[in-house]
């Protein structure tokens, strides 16, 4: 099957007869399994929005998620909203803390306040929404995992999740949240500028609260950085419960120094013990140049596809990631700019989030083959209704032809603040977060 038919098959499944709404719920970053594919939709109407929400309190950096007929979105003012999927009206809102003044942080590019940055996650079985909020308490920042009743917004959990002996002011919770067998999993990195004594962390906390498990990058004395940030993508949890992440640039920058787990694809067990990893051969020089891996690992059958700021795509064996410098294949220059954020995966095709416009690659006989490069958009792509959807910093939503990457549909949505904006789909709507609101387009 060619790339066009493979992607079309992914996005043109007819709805079940008599269904009130089509598609599977979009309860976490890039939907079920994190593959960025919405099934059950054949058309998105971009001629005009189905609705635009009122202006919300605070900037939106995360992706909207969907729980039944509610659209959940969180802001940098530490406010969580539930909007009606059919109209965009506010069903409930909850302020979960006082956001941190940007002026109180050592660096960063989120202003005027830093609150909830990562995409929320919903556990439909519990009827609970989880966010990580940066809170200003006693004139000091802290990060808290907050659980809210999805129907009412009532706070059911609030637990500080900063690792012991860490500096909360230097840490940013940028990844989306994921669920893994009754636990909430997320990454911690640094503020824009990599200032302060932060270390990259993967954190796992029971949904009902309790002791956290933590995996740390650059964990040796004197080391720092190694952010788990992935352009806002969530850790990928596989069917066995293992957690897959990419680590950013670390503080080790000279060849010959001990490896520090940075600039890597890392597979962790559900208890966050490292199982295996891959790092490019030039990891130390990439650390020095800030050219780290920065996407969600794409799990494609027996393979893994990774990419990042070095503008290369790496094909890895899922059972043997290869350690340092041993990929199955490398496709250099896949993009003219950095590749950051979540991916869209269907069959053997992976659409990568190049900032210059999405790039489609395909696995062919243990090699990576470039299919097309788009020249518009740039936000992490998703697949729905026979289109590759991406958002540009120009405030336009683009629907690309999956065979060629050319623009087939577009709609102006307004200004975005998130550097890696990505749409979502649920309850008959394609949803886009703008700077301070949500725009919905009818999907069927």
pLDDT above 90 (res 14):
no
Q: Residue for token digits 């969600």?
A: 296
Q: Are residues 259 and 215 in the same domain?
A: no
What integer best gives the mean pLDDT of the chain? 94
Q: Is residue 9 predicted with pLDDT exceeding 60?
A: no
At 419-431, the pLDDT tens digits run 899 999 999 999 9
Residue 291: inside a domain: yes
> Of the candidates 340, 357, 374, which is a domain's last residue?
357
Antiparallel, parallel or unpaired: β 37-38 and 382-384? parallel
Q: Are residues 296 and 202 in the same domain?
A: no
> CATH number of the domain that 173 lies in?
2.40.10.480
* Pair (193, 247) in one structural domain: no
pLDDT band at 20 (very low <50, low <70, confident <90, very high): very low
Q: Tokens for 345, please give them.
A: 């995966």
Cα 44 vs. chain centroid, distance in angstroms? 23
Return the closest-CA partner of residue 147 out of 94, 187, 214: 94
Overall average pLDDT of the 81-100 stretch: 98
**Domain presence at residue 12:** no
| 3 state DSSP class of 283 | helix
Domain boundary among 330, 357, 384: 357
Q: Are residues 222 and 102 in the same domain?
A: yes
Residue 285 phi/psi, 5-degree rounding, is -70, -35
150 within some domain: yes
Q: What is the pLDDT of residues 217-250, one digit of tens each?
A: 999 998 999 999 999 999 999 999 999 999 999 9
Residues facing residue 330 across a β-bridge? 314
| Residue listed under structure tokens 């494609």 | 300
pLDDT of 384 strictly over 50: yes
Which of 357, 372, 389 delimits the end of a domain?
A: 357
pLDDT band at 3 (very low <50, low <70, confident <90, very high): very low
Asked if residue 435 is part of any domain, the answer here is no
Please list, in sequence order, all residues whose beta carbon lies within 8 angstroms of the beta carbon of residue 290, skipping any fewer than 6 positions away: 194, 249, 309
CATH number assigned to the domain comprising residue 344: 2.40.128.630
What pLDDT digit, counting tens, does each position of 92-148 carry?
999 999 999 999 999 999 999 999 999 999 999 999 999 999 999 999 999 999 999
Q: 337 in a domain, yes or no?
A: yes
**What φ, ψ does residue 430 adopt, rounded to 5°?**
-95, 125
- List the one residue out of 437, 416, 425, 418 whose CA is nearest residue 52: 437
209 and 328, same structural domain? no
Residue 154 forms part of a structural domain: yes
Are 102 and 217 part of one and the same domain?
yes
Residues 214 and 258 in one domain: no
Kindly state whether residues 271 and 352 are assigned to the same domain: yes
Beta strands in 208-289 (DSSP E): 213-216, 236-237, 243-247, 264-268, 274-279
DSSP string, 146-185: EEEETTT--EEEEEE-PPTT--GGGEE--SPPEE-SSEEE
Q: Give the number of domains in the chain.
A: 2
Confidence band (pLDDT; 50, 70, 90) for 24?
low
Q: Within its chain, how far is the Cα of 199 from the centroid?
A: 19
Q: Which of the residue ranges 7-11, 131-135, 398-402 would you say has the lowest mean pLDDT? A: 7-11
Q: Phi and psi at residue 29, in whole multiples of 5°? A: -55, 125
Residue 20 falls within a domain, yes or no?
Answer: no
Give the domain range for residue 278: 239-357
Q: Are residues 285 and 350 in the same domain?
A: yes
Say whether both 141 and 207 belong to one domain: yes
On whether residue 72 sits in a domain, the answer given is no
Asked if residue 100 and residue 218 are part of one domain, the reply reads yes
Ramachandran bin of 108, using left for φ above 0, alpha for ψ from -120 to 50, beta for the remaining angles: left
pLDDT higher than 60, residue 84: yes
Q: Strands, DSSP E only, in 102-252?
A: 113-114, 121-123, 128-137, 140-149, 155-160, 171-172, 178-179, 183-190, 201-206, 213-216, 236-237, 243-247
Residues 191 and 282 in one domain: no
């Amino acid at each position: 099957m060619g790339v066009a038919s493979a992607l079309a098959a992914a996005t043109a499944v007819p709805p079940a007869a008599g269904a009130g709404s089509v598609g599977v719920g979009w309860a976490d970053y890039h939907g079920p399994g994190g593959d960025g594919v919405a099934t059950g939709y054949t058309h998105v109407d971009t001629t005009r929005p189905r609705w635009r929400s009122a202006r919300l309190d605070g900037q939106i950096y995360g992706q909207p998620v969907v729980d039944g007929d509610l659209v959940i979105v969180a802001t940098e003012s530490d406010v969580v909203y539930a909007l009606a999927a059919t109209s965009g009206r506010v069903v409930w809102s909850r302020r979960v803390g006082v956001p941190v003044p940007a002026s109180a942080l050592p660096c960063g590019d989120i202003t005027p306040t830093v609150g909830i940055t990562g995409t929320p996650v919903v556990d439909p079985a519990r009827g609970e929404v989880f966010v990580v909020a940066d809170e200003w308490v006693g004139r000091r920042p802290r990060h808290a995992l907050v659980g809210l009743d999805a129907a009412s917004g009532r706070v059911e959990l609030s637990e500080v999740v900063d690792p012991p002996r860490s500096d909360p002011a230097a840490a940013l919770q940028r990844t989306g949240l994921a669920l893994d067998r009754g636990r909430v999993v997320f990454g911690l990195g640094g503020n824009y500028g990599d200032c302060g004594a932060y270390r990259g962390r993967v954190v796992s906390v029971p949904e009902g609260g309790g002791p956290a498990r933590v995996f740390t990058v650059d964990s040796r004395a004197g080391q720092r950085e190694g952010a788990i940030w992935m352009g806002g993508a969530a850790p990928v949890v596989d069917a066995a419960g293992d957690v897959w992440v990419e680590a950013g640039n670390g503080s080790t920058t000279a060849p010959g120094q001990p490896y520090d787990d940075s600039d890597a694809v890392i597979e962790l067990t559900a208890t966050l013990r490292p199982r295996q990893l891959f790092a490019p051969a030039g990891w130390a020089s990439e650390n020095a140049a800030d050219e780290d891996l920065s996407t969600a690992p794409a799990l494609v059958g027996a393979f893994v596809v990774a990419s990042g700021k070095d503008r290369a795509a790496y094909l890895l064996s899922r059972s043997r990631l290869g350690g340092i410098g041993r990929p199955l294949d490398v496709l250099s220059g896949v993009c003219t700019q950095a590749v950051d954020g979540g991916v869209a995966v269907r069959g053997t095709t992976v659409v990568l989030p190049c900032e210059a416009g999405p790039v489609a690659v395909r696995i062919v006989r243990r090699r990576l083959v470039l299919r097309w490069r788009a020249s518009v958009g740039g936000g992490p792509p998703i697949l729905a209704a026979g289109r590759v959807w991406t958002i540009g910093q120009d405030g336009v939503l683009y629907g690309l032809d999956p065979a060629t990457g050319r623009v087939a549909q577009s709609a102006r949505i307004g200004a975005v603040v998130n550097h890696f904006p990505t749409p979502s789909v649920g309850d008959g709507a394609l949803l886009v977060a703008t700077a301070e609101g949500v725009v919905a387009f009818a999907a069927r």
